[in-house]
């Protein structure tokens, strides 16, 4: 690489960072959507009567079975068919968010089941409604249990945000392509830089989630293992 190439590379970094910001925006949008819908689907699957629970299973099955790219196209072009004009950004958040919700619902469902029926029974025995029991007893425990598998999902969808470029969102991957298109010598270096960005974000994210887990850890639990919870 020549001096000019290095110069171009450095000049391109702010552009990459502004693209990365878009990825982060997509990430937070999709994770929030995935979380809200995921918890809902998990609760429906665990606590609702059979027919409704079956719908939830069907939902999960669909969004986990369709490839992300296809999902992006379906949402983007599908909604436009129904005269709903959404930007590629919004379509990406919806498509990736719904997909994440299917995976997150699995995580939450596993966690809720790990908390166990007995906690629900104890809550009911003092007179709580199911909803109260879910809110004050089951979910607080389930969410704590969810953190490790959830941080996997986080790392995964962070990377998926680059797929938004397929429907025209100008995020970091697209920006890297622009830079590469202008100076072909930067093809490899620019993507190494992008890779470094993502490595850093993944690391930072996992660190933050680890801190969250430690903050909300139930004291005495690890010491006894699964001891008293039977």
Partner 1 sequence: MALLVVEDLHKRYGKEEVLRGVSFELERGETKVIIGPSGTGKSTLLRCINRLTEPDRGRVWLNGVEVTSPRTNIYRIRAQIGFVFQDFNLFTHLTALDNVRLGLIRVKGMGKREATERAMRELARVGLADKADAYPAQLSGGQQQRVSIARALAMDPKLILFDEPTSALDPELIGEVLQVMIELAEAGMTMLVVTHEMGFARSVADEIIFMEKGVIVEQGPPEVLFTNPRVPRTAEFLRKITEFYGESG
Partner 2 sequence: MGKRILVWVLPLFLLGLGAVGAEKYIVASDIPWAPFEWASPEGDYLGFDLDVMRCIAVLMGYEIEIRPVAFDSIIPAVVLGEVDIGASGFTITAKREEVVDFSNPYWLSNQAVLVRKDAAFKTLDDLFCCGHKIGAQRGTTGADWVQSNLVDKGVDVQLVLYETYPEAVLDLVNGRLDAVVQDEPASQQSISAYPELTVLDIIETNEYFGFLVASGDPKGLLRKINDGMYRLGLRYDLSLPAEGQWKVKFHIVPGSPWDYLVQAYFGPPLEKVEAAWKACIGTLYDETLTPEERVYEFAKCLAEKASG
**Interface with partner 1 by CB under 8 A: which residues?**
118-119, 121-129, 132, 136-137, 140-141, 144, 218-221, 223-224, 227-230
- Name the token pair of 217: 């850890």
- Nearest distance from residue 206's CB to partner 2, in Å? 23
- Nearest distance from residue 31's CB to partner 1, in Å? 23
| Among partner 1, partner 2, none, partner that 227 touches (CB below 5 to 8 angstroms by kind) | partner 1
**Residues lying near partner 2 in the complex (CB under 8 A):** 4, 8, 11-12, 14-15, 18, 25, 28-29, 80, 85-87, 89-90, 168, 170, 174-175, 177-185, 187
| Among partner 1, partner 2, none, partner that 86 touches (CB below 5 to 8 angstroms by kind) | partner 2
- Nearest distance from residue 134's CB to partner 1, in Å? 12
- Are 43 and 134 contacting, i.e. CB atoms less than 8 angstroms apart? yes
Distances in whole angstroms, Cα of residue 208 to Cα of each of 125, 129, 168, 174, 222: 37, 34, 31, 28, 20
Nearer to partner 2 (CB atom), residue 115 or residue 179? 179
Q: What length is written for the chain?
A: 230
Distances in whole angstroms, Cα of residue 218 to Cα of each of 111, 114, 116, 122, 126: 15, 15, 16, 18, 22
Nearer to partner 2 (CB atom), residue 44 or residue 97? 97
Crossing angle for the helix pair 172-182 and 187-215, to the nearest 10 degrees? 160
């Amino acid at each position: 690489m020549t001096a000019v190439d290095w110069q171009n590379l450095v000049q391109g970094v702010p552009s990459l960072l502004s693209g990365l910001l878009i990825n982060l925006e997509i990430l937070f949008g999709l994770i929030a959507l995935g979380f809200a819908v995921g918890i809902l689907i998990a609760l429906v699957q665990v606590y609702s009567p059979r027919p409704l629970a079956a719908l939830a299973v069907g939902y999960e099955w669909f969004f986990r079975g369709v490839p992300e790219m296809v999902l992006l196209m379906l949402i983007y072009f599908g909604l436009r068919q129904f005269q709903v004009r959404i930007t590629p950004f919004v379509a990406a958040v919806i498509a990736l968010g719904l997909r994440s919700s299917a995976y997150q619902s699995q995580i939450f469902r596993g966690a809720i089941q790990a908390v166990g029926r007995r906690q629900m029974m104890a809550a009911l025995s003092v007179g709580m409604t199911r909803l109260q029991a879910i809110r004050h007893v089951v979910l607080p425990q389930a969410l704590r249990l969810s953190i490790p598998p959830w941080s996997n999902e986080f790392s995964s969808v962070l990377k998926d945000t680059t797929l938004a470029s397929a429907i025209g969102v100008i995020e970091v991957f697209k920006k890297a392509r622009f830079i590469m298109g202008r100076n072909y010598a930067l093809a490899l270096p620019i993507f190494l830089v992008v890779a470094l960005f993502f490595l850093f974000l993944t690391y930072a994210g996992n660190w933050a989630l680890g801190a969250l887990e430690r903050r909300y850890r139930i004291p005495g639990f690890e010491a006894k293992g699964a001891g008293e919870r039977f």
